[in-house]
Structure 1
């Protein structure tokens, strides 16, 4: 499994290949991998503009590219169940790792969104959001420290801890204190 830095490096290399391709048309695998990586990086505008600049003949000759774009359309619509359904394909080898990482990234994003937006959610809805069977979704929620009630079939997400306030540099602290004292004196 590749890290996000490795995917960023691959994307940079693919962008270079696209720019340096003869007659301005890259190989279909370059477009497919780049499109999948843009989706993984949640760079939807990059993905959309890449899709628009891929020649129609290349799109028509490569069915897998259309399947990748179908995933992108579901992401654009925030249709989580649709994303997971469209990811259930037999991907070619260079695309398979990217799409697996995309599925896991989407699942993690869905868990984060649920934890921020819900105080309680039905197990079925949670399973739909995270693309897992009900039992696995509830088990994954419990592993995250969430509570689950078997009788009501409800899951109570644990709210994420707010990020700590960044420390202020000394000059900035002095400026804040000066403004505060100045306000009190006037």
Structure 2
């Protein structure tokens, strides 16, 4: 199972990286931290971590390259490649739980995005965006109470969003003035 507080774990791993003897921690630490960054959707930190991992560590630890392949696909917003890489790789115990949770988290984010961005889509498109079979995609659509017509076109329900609270111009001016005076100090 994925630890409840990944932020705390990420902080601990970052400290261990800094305190590592010779400045180079074990590859397992890099792998775990990289996987956590991806789970948190912190692609910038993931990319910077990848760049600072020594080339010798990258080449000797194939799992790091596999984790980064997932990160690269996330960076390019290539969801089918993300799902394929996660499910086709045999992950070590060090990162297996995080990578399984990452798969679920990306699927959750994709479902949320689909409900906001699509007025309708085919079952094959939905299954590609969710990284699952067509039958599983239809099951997820049914769970979300999305409409499915006879030609298997799915009509997602837009999420309910509460109207943004209007702030007065005076309130906005006060906040801006406070911010500018803070910057001047």
Question: The TM-score by the shorter chain falls in which range?
Answer: 0.7 to 0.9
Task: Please name the residue that 1:70 is paired with.
Answer: 69
Segments of 5+ residues of structure 2 without an aligned counterpart are 172-185
Corresponding residue for 1:17? 16
Partner of 2:78: 79
Rounded to whole Å, the distance in 2 between the matches of 1:165 and 1:51 is 39
2:154 alignment partner, SS class: strand
Deviation by residue 1:14-57 (Cα, 9 ceiling, x = unmatched):
00100101111111100000000001101001000000000001
Measure the CA separation in 2 of the matches of 1:68 and 1:2: 16
Question: Tell me, which stretches of 5 or more residues in structure 1 are unaligned?
Answer: 177-186
The TM-score, its normalising length taken from structure 2, stands at 0.87
Q: How far, CA to CA, are the matches of 1:62 and 1:144 in structure 2? A: 40
Moved over 4 A (4+): none
> TM-score of the superposition, structure 1-length normalised?
0.86
Larger Rg, first or second structure (1 or 2)? 1
The question of 1:116 aligning with 2:123 is answered no
Name the structure 1 match of 2:126: 126
Task: Give me the whole-angstrom Cα distance separating, in 2, the residues matched to 1:123 and 1:17.
Answer: 45
Alignment root-mean-square deviation, CA: 1.7
**How far, CA to CA, are the matches of 1:9 and 1:65 in structure 2?**
21
